[in-house]
Chains A and B, each alone.
Chain A
């Protein structure tokens, strides 16, 4: 299979911070907002270099979303920053009315998404955010897989005119995408061509999918691995092309199976090319405290879970 090298573990939120640093230097319309989580969102360099373009709103996320909507009136491109739970569930109606329905060019940037937030536990580990955001008409939903891709996505969404939800995480994970890879919204990336099964993964699960692919190869199974960083709009053609070749699919994400990437793909395949599918996702449950690795293991979100799902789905062809 195609070899991917970890260039050194790093957190995707630092990719966001690096992207913001670059935007601060290249796009004078970009402004940043934060609800008392500057350190967690890694945007101190942006703030130091552009103090007049940073808005610290305090612990008041609803107000932050409204202010962001207002800042677009006058040509600013606001990037809001807080944890994923407080970026979505806490402020759903503010996003719905003042941003999505109003068609405002706000970038909702959400760190600490999913179960890998770890020890803080279920109050902070949102596993429903992709579903909440993808249901809003006109909202773009992006979940990059590593530091380099998060940085590239952050920079790319500034050039897109419309509301975007950008989801990333807390832990240091493998950084393996090319440093100069251009980020195209809505364009899936083929990571490994295979013939027996399609594995479509998003976010932290992409590296797990590559690990699973390697282990499967040793068992004589040829897996095709696709990185879907944009959940909405979905690159349906890339998925269809792959399943027409392999005849079965496993979807993998750090999210509830209800409302996530897997559900989007299942809905698309049901109407266009019905295909056996297995979901690697949380099973309609809240998380709990623990280390990211322990939680990924317990909730069935690692490479072993993907391998198991592959073996199962292949029997259903």
Chain B
């Protein structure tokens, strides 16, 4: 059984990391990062089967691909606190000569990152390729990926969605962060995407929903269910309902914090809502 208290401590500490990282450089994307914090913590601490250390090929371990690379703060925090690189390095986020680029990259050799992402819509294809490499290698471990809901407006996703079911890539769990928001406003106002569950099902994916995407126990239960549905001839899609800016009252229920950092006063307020747990970097 997962130790929910310990995982919740990780969630709160990662929220603090995200806020402090973007505040320091007055740039970055806190909104989506905070919305996906429970998902990342659950994935790396409870769901994925990982080897010690980092190897690019990731043979005999589960792999994760972040397609919506702008939520790098949550990715970096969780990777660091999982031990992929020193937690102190979070101090270098978006600074010159850092391995923690604005968007994740393999180019600077940051352990834990297997593909560059940032230009949207490319991650599902990469995840599919890695899944097919696993099959060729007789490797039974799984591929996980995360995509923004607005990101699905990029057409390459639909090429990939069609391919994954057509070619029975059933060792892939692609999660969609359904926060209903993008830079210019509500997804329904920018470009309504209709019923995503029906769309994925029409493309012959096995779809499950996690309605409480910011409830750790619900996320763990949902992802375990997703895992149990792999290997049955269909790729698995998780529709993860999240709240952008979750855990900080003034950042929730708005798209305003998609790509904006808090000022000194806002940071203090936000941190006061999330008291230090594992220790700040």
In the complex, whether B130 has a CB less than 8 A from a CB of chain A is: yes
Q: How far is the CB of B144 from chain A (nearest CB, A)?
A: 13
Q: How far is the CB of A61 from chain B (nearest CB, A)?
A: 9
B119 touches A66 (CB 8 A): no
In the complex, whether B246 has a CB less than 8 A from a CB of chain A is: no
- A96 to B, closest residue via Cβ: B119
B136 touches A31 (CB 8 A): yes
In the complex, whether A62 has a CB less than 8 A from a CB of chain B is: yes
**Chain A residue contacts of B57, Cβ below 8 A:** 73-75
A70 touches B125 (CB 8 A): yes
- A75 to B, closest residue via Cβ: B57
From B125, B132, B162, contact of A98 by CB (8 A): B125
Q: How far is the CB of B44 from chain A (nearest CB, A)?
A: 18
B160 touches A63 (CB 8 A): yes
In the complex, whether B12 has a CB less than 8 A from a CB of chain A is: no
In the complex, whether B34 has a CB less than 8 A from a CB of chain A is: no
**CA distance in complex: A67, B57 (Å):** 15
- A33 to B, closest residue via Cβ: B129
A67 touches B116 (CB 8 A): no
B126 touches A70 (CB 8 A): yes
From B56, B65, B125, contact of A63 by CB (8 A): B125
**CA distance in complex: A183, B139 (Å):** 35
Residues 277-308 of chain A, each 1 if its beta carbon lies under 8 Å from chain B, else 0:
00000000000000000000000000000000
A73 touches B160 (CB 8 A): no
In the complex, whether A57 has a CB less than 8 A from a CB of chain B is: yes
**CA distance in complex: A63, B136 (Å):** 19
Which residues, 122 to 173 on B, are CB-close (under 8 Å) to A?
122-134, 136-137, 139, 155-156, 159-160, 162-163, 166-167
From A75, A76, A102, contact of B107 by CB (8 A): A102
A66 touches B160 (CB 8 A): yes
B122 touches A103 (CB 8 A): no
In the complex, whether B115 has a CB less than 8 A from a CB of chain A is: yes
In the complex, whether B94 has a CB less than 8 A from a CB of chain A is: no
Given contacts A66-B122, A66-B124, A66-B128, contact A94 B136 (CB under 8 A): no
A76 touches B115 (CB 8 A): no
- B129 to A, closest residue via Cβ: A70
**Chain B residue contacts of A78, Cβ below 8 A:** 129
**CA distance in complex: A75, B162 (Å):** 25
Given contacts A101-B105, A101-B116, contact A69 B137 (CB under 8 A): no
In the complex, whether A68 has a CB less than 8 A from a CB of chain B is: yes
A62 touches B59 (CB 8 A): no
From A62, A96, A102, A103, contact of B125 by CB (8 A): A62
In the complex, whether A176 has a CB less than 8 A from a CB of chain B is: no
Which residues, 1 to 19 on A, are CB-close (under 8 Å) to B?
none
In the complex, whether A267 has a CB less than 8 A from a CB of chain B is: no
**CA distance in complex: A75, B124 (Å):** 19
**Chain A residue contacts of B114, Cβ below 8 A:** 73
In the complex, whether B254 has a CB less than 8 A from a CB of chain A is: no
B131 touches A70 (CB 8 A): yes
From B123, B129, B155, contact of A73 by CB (8 A): B129
In the complex, whether A93 has a CB less than 8 A from a CB of chain B is: yes
**Chain B residue contacts of A311, Cβ below 8 A:** none
Given contacts A31-B136, A102-B106, contact A74 B130 (CB under 8 A): yes
Q: How far is the CB of A73 from chain B (nearest CB, A)?
A: 5
**CA distance in complex: A60, B63 (Å):** 24
From A63, A65, A70, contact of B133 by CB (8 A): A70
**Chain A residue contacts of B159, Cβ below 8 A:** 58, 60, 62-63
**CA distance in complex: A45, B139 (Å):** 27
**CA distance in complex: A261, B130 (Å):** 35
- Residue of A71, A74, A101 ringed by the most chain B CB atoms within 10 A: A74
In the complex, whether A52 has a CB less than 8 A from a CB of chain B is: yes
- A59 to B, closest residue via Cβ: B159
B163 touches A102 (CB 8 A): no
**CA distance in complex: A55, B132 (Å):** 9
**CA distance in complex: A102, B106 (Å):** 5
From A66, A75, A96, A103, contact of B129 by CB (8 A): A66
In the complex, whether A53 has a CB less than 8 A from a CB of chain B is: yes
Q: How far is the CB of B61 from chain A (nearest CB, A)?
A: 11
B124 touches A71 (CB 8 A): no
- Residue of B56, B59, B136 ringed by the most chain A CB atoms within 10 A: B136
**CA distance in complex: A69, B65 (Å):** 12
**Chain A residue contacts of B122, Cβ below 8 A:** 62, 66, 93-94, 97-98
A67 touches B137 (CB 8 A): no
- B135 to A, closest residue via Cβ: A52
From A31, A70, A93, contact of B128 by CB (8 A): A70
**CA distance in complex: A66, B132 (Å):** 12
**CA distance in complex: A53, B135 (Å):** 11
24 of the cross-chain contacts (CB-CB < 8 Å) are A55-B132, A58-B159, A62-B155, A63-B125, A63-B128, A66-B124, A66-B129, A67-B125, A67-B129, A67-B163, A68-B129, A70-B65, A71-B129, A71-B130, A71-B132, A73-B114, A73-B126, A73-B129, A93-B122, A97-B117, A97-B118, A101-B116, A103-B106, A103-B107
Interface residues, chain A, with chain B CB atoms under 8 Å away: 31, 52-53, 55, 57-58, 60, 62-76, 78, 93-94, 96-98, 101-104
Closest 5 CB pairs of A and B: A70-B129, A66-B125, A74-B133, A63-B159, A60-B159
